[in-house]
Amino acid sequence: MSSGVVVGAAGGIGAAVARKLDGTADLIVLAGRRSGPLQDVAANLRSPTVVVSADVTTSAGREGIVKAVEQPLRWLVLASGVPLRKPLVDLSEEEIRGAFETNLVGPTLLLWQLLSLRWVSPATVTVIGSISASRSLPNRSVYSATKAGLEHLARSLAAELAGSGIRVNIVAPGVIHTPFLGEGAAAAGLVDWIGARVPARRAGDADEVADVVRYVTLDAPEYLNGARIVVDGAAEALG
């Protein structure tokens, strides 16, 4: 019996990934902070599932995810995260620490624990990054730093684990239609940015990102390792 794990599966990209990877492991572990939405995702999957309501910033949350895994582990998708769209000077210490704990420290410690389990080869880790990791955008300094750190962790792990049968890749979304975009002025600002900076002239869809995640998780050649695939409507192509 093998397991697949989606962290951040309660909605948006994580939920779409869970649907796309349905049926590709004997057991799928759906983890996230919100139990109700996780249960809703699980109810629409064919695969046997375990729902773990867990906060990756806590030892108890990470331990709950690890204990839910039926070894060996076949694939892992790290899709959790929190947005933070404010100038650095306007952020509280709690907001700064919270973003780093949720987007970088928690996932790193979870990976550290999961890598001690038995994995079946070929196995994959797919990290959901962000175009913010590679672009200097106003009001994104802390968020961008957390995502850049997570992406660099993934690239380093790809080299570190290359001989173990575990591939590590990054899927970096641009502006995607999910609740992550927020509301009000923040969302309106993104609409303006799309019009000016996204050649596709639209936001992406969570399923478009999930299709790429499925590819790198299941179908990509073994030599695709340490890659960063951007799903952003050609925004990064503009420089």
The correct CATH number of 3-238 out of 3.40.50.620, 3.75.10.10, 3.90.1170.40, 3.40.50.720 is: 3.40.50.720
Q: Give the H or E element holding residue 38.
A: helix 35-43
Phi-psi label, residue 202: left if phi above 0, alpha if psi -120 to 50, beta otherwise:
beta
**Nearest-angstrom CA–CA distance, 101 and 13:** 20
Q: What is the pLDDT of residue 188?
A: 65
The vertex-191 CA angle with 171 and 131, nearest 5°, equals 20
Under the banding of pLDDT at 50, 70 and 90, the label for residue 191 is confident
pTM: 0.94
Q: What is the pLDDT of residue 186?
A: 58
Long-range contacts of 57-62 (CB under 8 A, 24+ apart): 57/98, 57/101, 57/102, 57/105, 57/106, 58/106, 61/106, 62/106, 62/109, 62/110, 62/113
Q: Give the H or E element holding residue 119.
A: strand 119-128
What are the tens digits of pLDDT across the range 56-106? Answer: 999 999 999 999 999 999 999 999 999 888 999 999 999 999 999 999 999
